[in-house]
Chain A
Amino acid sequence: MIDKIARTVAEALEGIEDGSTVLVSGFGEAGVPNVLVEGLIEQGARDLVLVNNNAGVGRHGIAALLAAGRVRKMVCSFPRSVGSVVFPELYAAGKIELEVVPQGTLSERIRAGGAGLGGFFTPTGVGTQVADGKEVRRIDGRDYVLELPIRGDVALVKGHVADRFGNLTYRKAARNFGPSMAMAGRRTIAEVYEIRNGDGLDPERIVTPGIFVDAVVKVER
C-alpha cells in the first residue's frame, strides 16, 4: 500500500545529509514551506545549498535557517526583497556564497533537472554578465545561452491539499515554484494544510502527481 503521509515534520525530514542541495518553493512569502524549512534547524543538516527565488524575509522560515548558519550557498534570482534582513548581513560579512540567476532561467533549470534534460538554450542573458563563460549558440538567426539543470537532493514544497498518494494541489499564486521543484527533488517533501482521506484528490484537479512526491505532512494554518 502506498502511504506517503508523514506523522511528524521530523519523520518527513529524516535522512537529509550535510552538504545537500535543498530546493525550497515560494516567491516572497507566498508558497514557502516555513514549517519544513524551520524543521531543518532541528534536523541538523549543515553546509546546505539553498535554492529559492528570494533569500528569506524577516527572521522566520528561510531567514531563520540562514541565521542558524546552516547554509553555505544561496541560489536565487532576487535576494534583496523588502524585509530581507538576515541574508544581506551574512553576505556583507562574507559568510555566505551567492549565485544570482534570472528568474525564468532559475525556474527552467529546475524543471530541466526534474525532466531529465542536460540543459537548454535560452535568449535570456545573452550579451549580459549572466552569459559570461557560457556557450552561446545561434539558432535560426537568434543567439541563445546554454543553461544547465539544477537538481535537488531534497525539495521542500508547499501545497494546499494532498492525499496519501502524494498528489498535490496548490492555492492561487502560492503554486509558483512548487510543481517544478517537486519534479527536481531526489526526495520531495510537501507540507500541506489538508490531507484528503479515502480515494484521494479529484484527478482533474491534481497539479503535481504523487510520483514526484515522497512525503507529505500536514501543518496548521
Chain B
Amino acid sequence: MAEPLTRPQIAWRIAQDIPDGAYVNLGIGMPEMVADHLPDGREVMLHSENGILGLGPSPAEGEEDWDLINAGKKPVTLVPGGAYFHHTDSFAIVRGGHLDLCVLGAYQVSAHGDLANWSTGDESRLPGIGGAMDLAMGANGIFVMMELCTRKGAPKILENCTYPLTGQRCVDRIYSDYAVIDIADDGPVVREMIDGIDFAALQGKAEARLRLAEDWRTLAAPDL
C-alpha cells in the first residue's frame, strides 16, 4: 500500500502545476517548500508581500542582507529581473488580480472553498492576520497545501468552516497527502488520489461530501 505524500512530496506535486512565466506568492511556512521543487527550465517570479518580485534562494551563510528578507522575515536573494516596491504597491499587486497563483496553508477549507488559516478562535492566543486575507481574496488562483486531517485525525475539509474565516469562496484546489481536490461549483471533486486508498477510505478523511472525477488519476511523487 502506498504511503501518503510527505510535505516535500506535496510541494513537488504543486510545483509541477506552476506554469512557466507565472507570478506566484508562496505563503509563509509549508508553501515556501514549493520553491525548492520548481522544474528546471521554468521561469517563475515569486512575489513577497513586503515588497519583492523575484525572490531567489536563501543566501549562503555570512552573505545575509537583513534589508532583503521575505514575508517570513528570513533573508533571501533577488533573481535577475526582480524588483523592489513599497508595501501599498505590493498589495495592489495582490488585490489587483496581478498574481497568477498563491499557495497557502489551511486549518480548514469548506465544501464551497471558504478558507480558515489565521485563527483557531482561541481567545487566549494573540491574533495575527498578516497578508493572508488579502492574498486569499486577491490572487487569481488559490492553491491550498495541507494534510487532509489534523494531527489528531480531525478532517479539515468541512461542510462549513468552524474557525474564523480568512476568505470566502476563494480556494480553487487542495493539494494534500492523500489527494488533489478541486473546489468545483458543486463541491469538492477528487482529481487525484494515491495508490492504496479507495474512495470510501478517502471520504472518511473529509467531513464534506467528496465526488470522484470520472477521469481521476493516481497521485504520485518521487522519493524526496
A interface residue numbers (CB < 8 A to B): 27-31, 53, 77-82, 87-88, 91, 98, 100-105, 107-108, 110-111, 122-130, 170-180, 207
Cβ contact within 8 Å between B95 and A104: yes
Cβ contact within 8 Å between B94 and A176: no
Cβ contact within 8 Å between B164 and A107: no
Cβ contact within 8 Å between B87 and A130: no
CB within 8 Å for A101 and B84 given contacts A107-B91, A173-B50: no
Q: List 9 A-B contacts (CB under 8 A).
A: A28-B73, A77-B131, A102-B130, A104-B94, A105-B134, A107-B91, A108-B91, A126-B167, A170-B86
Chain B residues contacting A102 (CB-CB under 8 Å) are: 129-134
A87 CA / B126 CA spacing, docked (Å): 10
B57 within 8 A of A: no
Inter-chain CB contacts under 8 Å: number: 137
B4 within 8 A of A: no
B6 within 8 A of A: no
B17 within 8 A of A: no
CB within 8 Å for A88 and B51 given contacts A108-B91, A111-B88, A127-B167: no
Chain B residues contacting A111 (CB-CB under 8 Å) are: 88
Cβ contact within 8 Å between B88 and A110: yes
A207 CA / B51 CA spacing, docked (Å): 14
B203 within 8 A of A: no
Chain B binding surface SS class: loop
Cβ contact within 8 Å between A178 and B126: no
Cβ contact within 8 Å between B50 and A127: no
B216 within 8 A of A: no
| A136 → chain B closest CB, angstroms | 12
A88 CA / B124 CA spacing, docked (Å): 11
CB within 8 Å for A100 and B88 given contacts A123-B95, A124-B133: no
Cβ contact within 8 Å between B91 and A104: yes
Chain A residues contacting B87 (CB-CB under 8 Å) are: 27, 53, 103, 107, 175-177, 180
| B114 → chain A closest CB, angstroms | 8
A170 CA / B68 CA spacing, docked (Å): 12
